[in-house]
A and B are shown apart, each in its own frame.
Chain A
Amino acid sequence: MKKMKRISALAVVLAMVFALTACGGKDEGKGTTAAPENTTTAPAADGEDTTTAAGGEEATTTAPAAGGEIAQGGAAEGVKVAVFYYNFSDTYISSVRTALDAELNAAGAVYQNFDANGNQTTQNESIDTALTDGYKILVVNMVTSGSSDTAKSIIEKANNHDAQVIFFNRAIEEDGNEGAVLGANDNICFIGTDAPEAGHLQGKMIGEYLLANYETVDLNGDGVISYAMMKGDEANVEAIYRTQYGVEDANAVLTAADKPELAYFDASSQSGYQVDMDGQWSAKAGQEYMQTNLSQYSEANNNMIELVICNNDNMAEGVVSALQAVGYNTGEEGSKTIPVFGVDATTSAQSLIAQGAMTGTVKQDAEGMAKAIRGMVESTAAGTPMADGIAAVAGTNDIYSVAEGVANKLYVAYSAFTGVE
Chain B
Amino acid sequence: MKNPVNALKQTSERYKTLDAKDRKKFWIDGLLNNAIYIILVIFLIYTYMKNSNIASASSAVNLLNLVAANLPMALGIGGCIVLTGTDLSAGRVVGLTGAISASLLQATTYINKFYADMGEVPIIAVILLAMLIGGVVGLVNGFFVAKFQLHPFIVTLATQLIVYGACLLYYMSNGNNGQPISGLSDKYTNFVKGTILPKIGGQSIPNYVIYALIVLAIMWFIWNKTPFGKNMFAVGSNPEAAKVSGVNVFLTTVMVHTLAGITYGYTGFIDAARIASNTANSGQNYESDAIAACVIGGVSFVGGTGTIGGVVLGVVLLRIIFVCLNYLAIDQNLQYIIKGAIILLACSIDMRKYLTKK
The list of the 6 closest CB pairs from A to B, nearest first, reads A94-B178, A283-B277, A317-B277, A295-B62, A89-B280, A348-B182
- In this assembly, does B305 line the interface, its C-beta being within 8 Å of a C-beta of chain A? no
- In this assembly, does B197 line the interface, its C-beta being within 8 Å of a C-beta of chain A? no
Residue from A270, A295, A314, A326 in contact with B279 in the complex, judged by beta carbons closer than 8 Å:
A314
A403 to B280, CA, bound (A): 33
- In this assembly, does B65 line the interface, its C-beta being within 8 Å of a C-beta of chain A? yes
Q: Which of B145-194 contact A (CB under 8 A)?
A: 162, 165, 168-175, 177-183, 193
**Cβ contacts under 8 Å, B169 to chain A:** 23-24, 27-28
How many A-B contacts are there with CB distance less than 8 Å? Answer: 172
- In this assembly, does A351 line the interface, its C-beta being within 8 Å of a C-beta of chain B? yes
**Which residue of chain A is the closest to B58 with respect to CB atoms?**
A295
Are the C-beta atoms of B277 and A314 separated by less than 8 Å? yes
Q: Report if A318-B275 is in contact (Cβ < 8 Å); known contacts: A295-B56, A346-B180.
A: yes
**Cβ contacts under 8 Å, A277 to chain B:** 332, 335-336, 339
A318 to B275, CA, bound (A): 5
Interface hit among B200-208, B212-220, B229-237: B200-208
A38 to B165, CA, bound (A): 21
Residue from A296, A325, A346, A351 in contact with B111 in the complex, judged by beta carbons closer than 8 Å:
A351
Are the C-beta atoms of B111 and A283 separated by less than 8 Å? no
Are the C-beta atoms of B172 and A27 separated by less than 8 Å? yes
Q: Report if A95-B275 is in contact (Cβ < 8 Å); known contacts: A89-B281, A294-B203, A296-B58.
A: no
Are the C-beta atoms of B171 and A94 separated by less than 8 Å? yes
- In this assembly, does A174 line the interface, its C-beta being within 8 Å of a C-beta of chain B? no
Q: Which of A296-322 contact B (CB under 8 A)?
A: 296, 298, 300, 313-314, 317-318, 320-321
Are the C-beta atoms of B282 and A283 separated by less than 8 Å? yes
A33 to B114, CA, bound (A): 17
Are the C-beta atoms of A326 and B178 separated by less than 8 Å? no
Are the C-beta atoms of B280 and A348 separated by less than 8 Å? no
Interface hit among A133-141, A214-222, A284-292, A379-387: A284-292
Main secondary structure of the interface of A (DSSP, over half): helix
- In this assembly, does B284 line the interface, its C-beta being within 8 Å of a C-beta of chain A? yes
Chain B proximity of A419: nearest CB distance (Å): 13
Q: Which of A15-47 contact B (CB under 8 A)?
A: 20, 23-24, 27-28, 30-31
Chain A proximity of B177: nearest CB distance (Å): 4
Interface hit among B125-133, B291-299, B320-328, B341-349: B320-328
Q: Report if A292-B180 is in contact (Cβ < 8 Å); known contacts: A271-B331, A271-B332, A284-B271.
A: no
- In this assembly, does A365 line the interface, its C-beta being within 8 Å of a C-beta of chain B? no
Name the residue in B61, B110, B182, B277 with the highest tally of chain A Cβ atoms < 10 Å from its Cβ.
B277
- In this assembly, does A197 line the interface, its C-beta being within 8 Å of a C-beta of chain B? no
- In this assembly, does A98 line the interface, its C-beta being within 8 Å of a C-beta of chain B? yes
Q: Which of A242-265 contact B (CB under 8 A)?
A: none
**Cβ contacts under 8 Å, A325 to chain B:** 193, 204, 206
A24 to B331, CA, bound (A): 44
Q: Which of B49-79 contact A (CB under 8 A)?
A: 50-51, 53, 56, 58-59, 61-62, 65-66
Q: Report if A321-B275 is in contact (Cβ < 8 Å); known contacts: A27-B172, A88-B178, A234-B333.
A: yes
**Cβ contacts under 8 Å, A295 to chain B:** 53, 56, 58-59, 61-62, 201, 203
**Cβ contacts under 8 Å, A234 to chain B:** 332-333
**Which residue of chain A is the closest to B280 with respect to CB atoms?**
A89
**Which residue of chain A is the closest to B288 with respect to CB atoms?**
A278
**Cβ contacts under 8 Å, B33 to chain A:** none
- In this assembly, does A213 line the interface, its C-beta being within 8 Å of a C-beta of chain B? no
A87 to B168, CA, bound (A): 11
Are the C-beta atoms of A30 and B174 separated by less than 8 Å? yes
**Cβ contacts under 8 Å, A318 to chain B:** 275-277
- In this assembly, does A181 line the interface, its C-beta being within 8 Å of a C-beta of chain B? no
Q: Report if A283-B177 is in contact (Cβ < 8 Å); known contacts: A234-B333, A266-B329.
A: no
A294 to B162, CA, bound (A): 38
**Cβ contacts under 8 Å, B50 to chain A:** 268
A320 to B130, CA, bound (A): 25
**Cβ contacts under 8 Å, B168 to chain A:** 88-89
Are the C-beta atoms of A28 and B172 separated by less than 8 Å? yes
Q: How many residues on chain B are close to A (CB under 8 Å)?
A: 60
Name the residue in B169, B177, B193, B323 with the highest tally of chain A Cβ atoms < 10 Å from its Cβ.
B177
- In this assembly, does B248 line the interface, its C-beta being within 8 Å of a C-beta of chain A? no
Are the C-beta atoms of B322 and A31 separated by less than 8 Å? no
Q: Report if A30-B175 is in contact (Cβ < 8 Å); known contacts: A234-B332, A283-B275, A283-B276.
A: yes
**Cβ contacts under 8 Å, B173 to chain A:** 27, 30-31
A295 to B322, CA, bound (A): 13
**Cβ contacts under 8 Å, A159 to chain B:** none
Are the C-beta atoms of B322 and A347 separated by less than 8 Å? no
Residue from B277, B282, B329 in contact with A348 in the complex, judged by beta carbons closer than 8 Å:
B277
Are the C-beta atoms of A98 and B66 separated by less than 8 Å? no
Given contacts A274-B332, A326-B202, 20 further A-B contacts (CB under 8 A): A30-B175, A89-B281, A90-B281, A93-B178, A94-B177, A266-B329, A277-B336, A282-B279, A283-B282, A289-B326, A291-B66, A293-B326, A294-B58, A295-B59, A296-B51, A296-B59, A298-B202, A324-B276, A347-B112, A347-B180
A94 to B336, CA, bound (A): 30
Q: Which of B100-125 contact A (CB under 8 A)?
A: 110-112
**Cβ contacts under 8 Å, A346 to chain B:** 179-180
**Cβ contacts under 8 Å, A97 to chain B:** 177-178
- In this assembly, does A122 line the interface, its C-beta being within 8 Å of a C-beta of chain B? no
Q: Report if A320-B279 is in contact (Cβ < 8 Å); known contacts: A27-B173, A277-B335.
A: no
- In this assembly, does A275 line the interface, its C-beta being within 8 Å of a C-beta of chain B? yes
Chain B proximity of A33: nearest CB distance (Å): 10
**Cβ contacts under 8 Å, B180 to chain A:** 91, 283, 313-314, 317, 346-348
**Which residue of chain A is the closest to B61 with respect to CB atoms?**
A295
A-B contact pairs, 19 of them (CB 8 A): A31-B172, A31-B173, A31-B177, A89-B171, A89-B280, A95-B178, A268-B50, A271-B332, A282-B281, A283-B279, A288-B322, A292-B66, A292-B322, A294-B203, A295-B59, A296-B58, A317-B182, A321-B276, A352-B182
- In this assembly, does A124 line the interface, its C-beta being within 8 Å of a C-beta of chain B? no
Chain A proximity of B347: nearest CB distance (Å): 19
Q: Binary interface profile of A, 316-357, with partner B (CB < 8 Å = 1, else 0)?
A: 011011001110000000000000000000111001100000
A287 to B112, CA, bound (A): 23
A221 to B333, CA, bound (A): 34
Name the residue in B271, B275, B335 with the highest tally of chain A Cβ atoms < 10 Å from its Cβ.
B275
**Cβ contacts under 8 Å, A266 to chain B:** 329
**Which residue of chain A is the closest to B54 with respect to CB atoms?**
A296
